[in-house]
């Protein structure tokens, strides 16, 4: 039950709602929602936008209703989010001439350039910010793996998960850098469906592993890079929802689906729902009930775009649920905290309450638009793709005088997200005419063909006999069968037909033998069409690269296979792994014999990447993973991943990582596989001295480089643990440490068979939560490993109160469990390096100098035995060890996934 007053609770809940309204000025309803319900966000649509001046007034008046005092009185600590779907390309809410048309995601995918994507994101953010829009429900992170997807299509950068991640995240960075909140959508991925969630509930029957292989890849990348907002999809994922009765639940309402973000990816940003008035929710669970369900499932912001009554009822429904304990107050608090934190980061009253000052002038807008137009033009020219020019029809000869353009004049299949209202400022025909240099030119004519595809005899007459060149623009002809029929008729008559796929590139992608001159522009905008016209007239060449595969491309995309490490092929495998290791990790050059000892162990779960050859090809990469038991549960970690430098950048590293993670999940149910190692010890995390690109590789695949509290995300500059080293040939114990321990009646002796049992019970009492710790002590039985353990004894009570390993390099246990001691001295003067590790003092005796004195005794003992240097692995107590002479050898990031 809630302890807040009704009004306070209502306004807190109101902050969790994002609503749309109708009209060109703020409706009285929206004002009520702001004042009475503490509304958090407004969603703008094309229906709210007429021209630049009106848009400015709308934005300003939205805020005039809530000037600082009134808003504060109404409980608003921060300004409203003003959000919009400015995806660009197909889904563009603020269109020319108000703002420059910018290329959509698939056009960006075709440029394959993150620089272009960033620039477009930045321009878009600048424009939105000019109008006071501070949140964009873009970019789209969906992977368009289903060519017949009616809702995503060109809104996605393509069908390759890593390209989608790269392009989307670069667009998001551009938006962020211009002060606009980016939102990646539609989680967990809307690309593999042939149903539009505006008009029904799509079902994606993929398993978790299948999602990890595809849909989740860009989302993992976004989260690891610290994305601020994620929008959910109204799609059912029967294989993800945990129980039978929940199977049909859309991801938006599913705690299991949102749990992937929260629990597995550790995402702590805002989860916002797609509009709950879409049929995927409205017609299934209902918008009002859906609002409550989505908050229960873990979302933080609920979007309802159309109906005031429904918006109010939804807020009231959530309120009632909190009052009657059906939804916890803490869930509301958590969502409120996230919304508030995002507002704090992006919004200021000062910016929100700007009045018509100089920087808001329409002259400034015109200058900005011109700059953005130039940027867009450059990007369009890089995206437009001549898929085929088999008859060398392109460019058309300069003497071509009669050009006939056929464009769709009837209804075309578009997804529910597309809003085509409003007048077109310029048409395809205008563009063609401009190209002839004469806007009134009669040499270019246009036929607007109906959705039946039917053309009159006169039209056919022009096509057959009069036109020098015929250009057919299609729009989603794969779905619009009549368009396809018309195209087939046309190409029979005119082999030189130029086809422009003016939206999805799939229209004639696989009709290699039929449509020989085929251009893809990835969106129906006039601006994209103009860049195709430039190519047709030879003013530009094609630079775009198809970001989706045709059927003929769908063969296995590489010449390598991933195989599990097989002990019966140990010699060849270790030989291959060593070669790759030495080439890929030149600063950590391990010898084959040393690698063999750490690799060939029963808890290893390694994979190699090998060239596909009949008699076994060369090994070009490997991943070393190990299973362990942590707090009684199976866990696993990745100790090393490397690819032959000559083969890097071909997807081999990604595939090794994905295969290993999939195997560990499928076989052992292990979801989170951090980058680290226990026993055997390689690196305790991601080495900080590796190139930044290597760190980026892991973050791009969803690894969080966090601080020790797991707090910050993608902080590439925080080093969290270290390996230490000391040449002990001239070691002298600092007397004060020895004296202090002696005064406290603490003595130090190596563990013997008689004292071993007490030693083990000390480890079990204190250190069971450290993976592999107790097992290591158990393995170091003093009968087999004399002088392996130094212990501190409390002479007052005769009990053991501290322990450390103090192993000589001759002990085979060292070689099997620590990879790097032989390297730590650095190159030329390789010393006989032993290991100090698992240093622990009984909890009741900490802070009394027991540990430092123990280190001194252990080092002296080792020196007596001929050990020349000591290696200490994986510690964050660098300063403490420095007191007895240790310094850092290497530093590491914590890398979790």
Nearest residue to 37 (alpha-carbon basis) of 287, 301, 315: 315
For residue 736, how many other CB atoms are within 10 A of its CB?
Answer: 11
User: Does 650 sit near ligand COA (CB under 6 A)?
Assistant: yes
The whole-angstrom distance between residue 306's C-alpha and the CA centroid of its chain comes to 31
User: Does 618 sit near ligand COA (CB under 6 A)?
Assistant: no
User: Does 652 sit near ligand COA (CB under 6 A)?
Assistant: yes
Least separation in angstroms between CB 622 and ligand COA: 9
Nearest residue to 664 (alpha-carbon basis) of 609, 705, 603, 611: 603
User: Does 648 sit near ligand COA (CB under 6 A)?
Assistant: yes
Q: Which is nearer to ligand COA, 443 or 648 (CB)?
A: 648
| Tokens standing for residue 856 | 């001194």
User: Does 685 sit near ligand COA (CB under 6 A)?
Assistant: no
Q: Which is nearer to ligand COA, 332 or 642 (CB)?
A: 642
Least separation in angstroms between CB 701 and ligand COA: 7
Strand, helix or coil at 83?
A: strand
- The piece of 62-70, 277-285, 411-419, 693-701 that touches ligand COA (CB under 6 A) is 693-701
Nearest residue to 42 (alpha-carbon basis) of 74, 15, 7: 15
DSSP state of 80: P
Query: Where in 656-675 is the site for ligand COA (CB under 6 A)?
Result: none
Q: Which is nearer to ligand COA, 293 or 590 (CB)?
A: 590
User: Does 400 sit near ligand COA (CB under 6 A)?
Assistant: no
- The piece of 353-361, 405-413, 417-425, 646-654 that touches ligand COA (CB under 6 A) is 646-654
For the packed helices 308-323 and 287-297, what is the interaxial angle rounded to 10 degrees? 50
Nearest residue to 213 (alpha-carbon basis) of 666, 548, 555: 666
**Binding map of ligand COA across residues 154-193, x = CB under 6 A, - = no contact:** --------x---x---------------------------
User: Does 67 sit near ligand COA (CB under 6 A)?
Assistant: no
Q: Which is nearer to ligand COA, 325 or 649 (CB)?
A: 649
User: Does 622 sit near ligand COA (CB under 6 A)?
Assistant: no
- The piece of 649-657, 659-667, 814-822, 845-853 that touches ligand COA (CB under 6 A) is 649-657
Least separation in angstroms between CB 40 and ligand COA: 34
User: Does 396 sit near ligand COA (CB under 6 A)?
Assistant: no
706: which strand partners? Answer: 894
Q: Which is nearer to ligand COA, 584 or 862 (CB)?
A: 584
Least separation in angstroms between CB 594 and ligand COA: 16
- Per CB under 6 A, the list member of 133, 463, 642, 870 interacting with ligand COA is 642
User: Does 653 sit near ligand COA (CB under 6 A)?
Assistant: yes
User: Does 54 sit near ligand COA (CB under 6 A)?
Assistant: no
- Per CB under 6 A, the list member of 694, 771, 781, 876 interacting with ligand COA is 694
- Per CB under 6 A, the list member of 41, 276, 480, 641 interacting with ligand COA is 641
User: Does 111 sit near ligand COA (CB under 6 A)?
Assistant: no
- Residue pair 387/506 in contact (Cβ under 8 Å)? The answer is no
- Per CB under 6 A, the list member of 585, 714, 718, 779 interacting with ligand COA is 585
| Tokens standing for residue 104 | 């959509």
- The piece of 378-386, 644-652, 733-741, 821-829 that touches ligand COA (CB under 6 A) is 644-652
Q: Which is nearer to ligand COA, 665 or 697 (CB)?
A: 697
| Tokens standing for residue 816 | 């099997």
* Helix intervals (H) in 16-80: 28-37, 52-64, 68-73
User: Does 30 sit near ligand COA (CB under 6 A)?
Assistant: no
- The piece of 435-443, 472-480, 642-650, 876-884 that touches ligand COA (CB under 6 A) is 642-650
Cα-trace Rg, the chain: 33
Q: Which is nearer to ligand COA, 39 or 638 (CB)?
A: 638
- The piece of 259-267, 321-329, 636-644, 707-715 that touches ligand COA (CB under 6 A) is 636-644
- The piece of 306-314, 652-660, 733-741, 809-817 that touches ligand COA (CB under 6 A) is 652-660
Least separation in angstroms between CB 602 and ligand COA: 22
Q: Which is nearer to ligand COA, 92 or 168 (CB)?
A: 168
- Residue pair 617/610 in contact (Cβ under 8 Å)? The answer is yes
Q: Are strands 633-643 and 229-232 parallel, antiparallel or unpaired?
A: unpaired
The whole-angstrom distance between residue 450's C-alpha and the CA centroid of its chain comes to 42
Rounded Cα–Cα distance for residues 97 and 446 (Å): 23
- The piece of 16-24, 60-68, 473-481, 650-658 that touches ligand COA (CB under 6 A) is 650-658
Residue number with the smallest Cβ distance to ligand COA? 653
Q: Which is nearer to ligand COA, 624 or 751 (CB)?
A: 624
- Residue pair 713/706 in contact (Cβ under 8 Å)? The answer is yes
**Binding map of ligand COA across residues 555-584, x = CB under 6 A, - = no contact:** -----------------------------x
609: which strand partners? Answer: 562, 621
- Per CB under 6 A, the list member of 97, 538, 649, 826 interacting with ligand COA is 649
For residue 482, how many other CB atoms are within 10 A of its CB?
Answer: 16
User: Does 150 sit near ligand COA (CB under 6 A)?
Assistant: no
For the chain, what is the largest distance between any 2 Cα atoms, rounded to a whole number of angstroms? 112
Least separation in angstroms between CB 635 and ligand COA: 18
Rounded Cα–Cα distance for residues 893 and 717 (Å): 8
| Tokens standing for residue 190 | 């809307």
- Per CB under 6 A, the list member of 224, 304, 640, 724 interacting with ligand COA is 640
Rounded Cα–Cα distance for residues 496 and 515 (Å): 9
User: Does 774 sit near ligand COA (CB under 6 A)?
Assistant: no
Strand order in the sheet with 135-136: 135-136, 81-84, 41-44, 17-20, 302-304
User: Does 888 sit near ligand COA (CB under 6 A)?
Assistant: no
Least separation in angstroms between CB 728 and ligand COA: 29
Least separation in angstroms between CB 643 and ligand COA: 4
The footprint of ligand COA on this chain (CB under 6 A) covers a number of residues equal to 19
Rounded Cα–Cα distance for residues 262 and 267 (Å): 5
Rounded Cα–Cα distance for residues 818 and 440 (Å): 80
**CA 801-805-808 angle, 5° bins:** 150
> Positive or negative, the Cα torsion across 472, 476, 477, 480?
negative
Q: Which is nearer to ligand COA, 159 or 811 (CB)?
A: 159
Least separation in angstroms between CB 333 and ligand COA: 37
Strand order in the sheet with 619-630: 560-564, 607-611, 619-630, 633-643
| Tokens standing for residue 434 | 């401009």
Q: Which is nearer to ligand COA, 467 or 641 (CB)?
A: 641
Q: Which is nearer to ligand COA, 410 or 674 (CB)?
A: 674
Which contacts (CB < 8 Å, 24+ apart) does range 794-798 have? 794/745, 794/746, 794/845, 795/745, 795/746, 795/747, 796/745
Q: Which is nearer to ligand COA, 398 or 691 (CB)?
A: 691
3-state secondary structure 613-640: CCCCCCEEEEEEEEEEEECCEEEEEEEE
Nearest residue to 848 (alpha-carbon basis) of 801, 805, 882: 801
Rounded Cα–Cα distance for residues 647 and 735 (Å): 55
- Per CB under 6 A, the list member of 293, 322, 643, 852 interacting with ligand COA is 643
Rounded Cα–Cα distance for residues 308 and 710 (Å): 41
Residues that bind ligand COA (CB under 6 A): 162, 166, 584-585, 640-643, 648-654, 690, 694, 697, 700
């Amino acid at each position: 039950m809630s302890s807040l007053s009704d009004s306070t609770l209502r306004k807190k809940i109101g902050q969790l709602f994002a609503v749309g309204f109708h009209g060109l000025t703020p409706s009285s309803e929206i004002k009520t929602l702001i004042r009475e319900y503490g509304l958090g966000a407004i969603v703008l649509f094309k229906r709210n936008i007429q021209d630049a001046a009106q848009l400015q007034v709308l934005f300003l008046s939205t805020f005039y209703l809530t000037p600082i005092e009134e808003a504060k009185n109404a409980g608003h600590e921060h300004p409203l989010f003003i959000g919009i779907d400015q995806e660009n390309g197909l889904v563009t809410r603020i269109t020319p001439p108000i703002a420059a048309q910018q290329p959509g995601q698939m056009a960006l995918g075709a440029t394959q350039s993150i620089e272009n994507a960033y620039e477009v994101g930045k321009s878009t953010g600048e424009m939105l910010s000019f109008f006071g829009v501070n949140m964009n429900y873009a970019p789209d992170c969906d992977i368009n793996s289903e060519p017949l997807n009616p809702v995503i299509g060109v809104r996605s950068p393509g069908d390759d998960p890593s390209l989608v991640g790269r392009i989307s995240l670069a667009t998001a960075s551009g938006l962020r850098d211009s002060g606009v909140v980016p939102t990646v959508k539609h989680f967990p991925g809307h690309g593999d469906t042939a149903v539009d969630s505006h008009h029904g509930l799509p079902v994606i029957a993929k398993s978790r592993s299948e999602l990890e292989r595809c849909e989740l890849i860009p989302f993992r990348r976004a989260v690891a890079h610290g994305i601020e907002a994620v929008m959910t999809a109204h799609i059912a994922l029967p294989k993800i929802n945990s129980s039978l009765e929940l199977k049909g639940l859309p991801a938006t309402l599913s705690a299991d689906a949102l749990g992937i973000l929260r629990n597995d990816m550790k995402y702590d940003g805002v989860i916002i729902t797609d509009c709950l008035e879409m049929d995927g929710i409205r017609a299934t669970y209902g918008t009002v009930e859906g609002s409550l369900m989505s908050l229960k499932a873990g979302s933080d912001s609920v979007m309802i775009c159309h109906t005031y009554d429904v918006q109010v009822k939804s807020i009231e429904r959530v309120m009632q649920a909190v009052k009657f304990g059906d939804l916890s107050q803490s869930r509301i608090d958590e969502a409120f905290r996230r919304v508030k934190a995002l507002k704090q980061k992006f919004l200021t009253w000062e910016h929100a309450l700007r009045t018509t000052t100089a920087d808001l002038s329409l002259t400034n807008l015109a200058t900005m638009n011109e700059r953005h137009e130039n940027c867009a033009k450059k990007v369009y020219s890089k995206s437009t793709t001549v898929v085929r020019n088999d008859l060398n029809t392109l460019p058309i000869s300069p003497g071509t005088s009669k050009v006939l353009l056929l464009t769709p004049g009837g209804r075309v299949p578009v997804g529910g997200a597309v809003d085509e209202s409003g007048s077109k400022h310029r048409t395809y025909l205008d563009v063609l005419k401009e190209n002839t240099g004469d806007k009134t030119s009669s040499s270019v004519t246009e036929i607007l063909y109906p959705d039946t595809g039917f053309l009159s005899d006169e039209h056919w007459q022009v096509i057959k006999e009069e036109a020098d060149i015929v250009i057919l623009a299609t729009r989603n002809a794969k779905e619009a069968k009549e368009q396809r029929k018309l195209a087939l008729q046309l190409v029979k008559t005119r082999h030189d037909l130029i086809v422009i796929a003016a939206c999805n590139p799939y229209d004639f992608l696989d009709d290699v033998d039929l449509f020989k001159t085929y251009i893809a522009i990835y969106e129906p905008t006039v601006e994209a069409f103009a860049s195709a016209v430039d190519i047709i007239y030879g003013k530009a060449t094609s630079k775009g690269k198809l970001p989706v595969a045709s059927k003929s491309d769908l063969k296995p995309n590489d010449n390598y296979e991933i195989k599990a490490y097989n002990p019966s092929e140990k010699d060849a495998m270790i030989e291959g792994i060593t070669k790759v290791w030495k080439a890929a990790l030149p600063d950590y050059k391990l010898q084959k014999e040393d690698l063999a000892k750490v690799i060939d162990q029963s808890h290893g779960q390694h994979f190699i990447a090998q060239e596909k050859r009949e008699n076994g090809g060369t090994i070009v990469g490997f991943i070393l993973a190990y299973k362990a038991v942590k707090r009684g549960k199976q866990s696993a970690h990745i100790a090393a991943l490397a690819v032959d430098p000559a083969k890097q950048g071909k997807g081999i590293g990604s595939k090794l990582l994905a295969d290993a993670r999939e195997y560990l999940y499928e076989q052992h149910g292990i979801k989170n596989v951090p980058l680290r190692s226990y026993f055997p010890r390689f690196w305790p995390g991601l080495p900080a001295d590796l190139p930044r690109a290597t760190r980026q590789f892991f973050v791009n695949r969803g690894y969080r480089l966090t601080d020790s509290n797991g707090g910050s995300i993608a902080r590439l500059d925080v080093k969290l643990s270290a390996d230490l080293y000391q040449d002990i040939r001239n070691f002298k114990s600092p007397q004060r440490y020895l004296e202090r321990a002696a005064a406290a009646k603490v003595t130090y002796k190596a563990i013997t068979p008689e004292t071993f049992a007490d030693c083990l019970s000390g480890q079990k009492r204190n250190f069971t939560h450290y993976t592999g710790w107790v097992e290591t002590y158990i393995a170091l039985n003093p009968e087999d490993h004399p002088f392996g353990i130094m212990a501190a004894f409390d002479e007052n009570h005769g009990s053991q109160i501290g322990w450390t390993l103090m192993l000589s390099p001759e002990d085979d246990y060292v070689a099997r469990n620590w990879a790097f001691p032989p390297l730590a001295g650095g190159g030329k003067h390789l010393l006989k390096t032993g290991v100090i590790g698992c240093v622990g003092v009984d909890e009741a005796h900490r802070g009394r100098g027991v540990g430092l004195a123990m280190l001194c005794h252990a080092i002296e003992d080792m020196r007596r035995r001929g050990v020349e240097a000591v290696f200490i692995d994986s510690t964050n107590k660098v300063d403490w060890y420095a007191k007895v002479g240790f310094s850092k050898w290497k530093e590491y990031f914590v890398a979790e996934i």
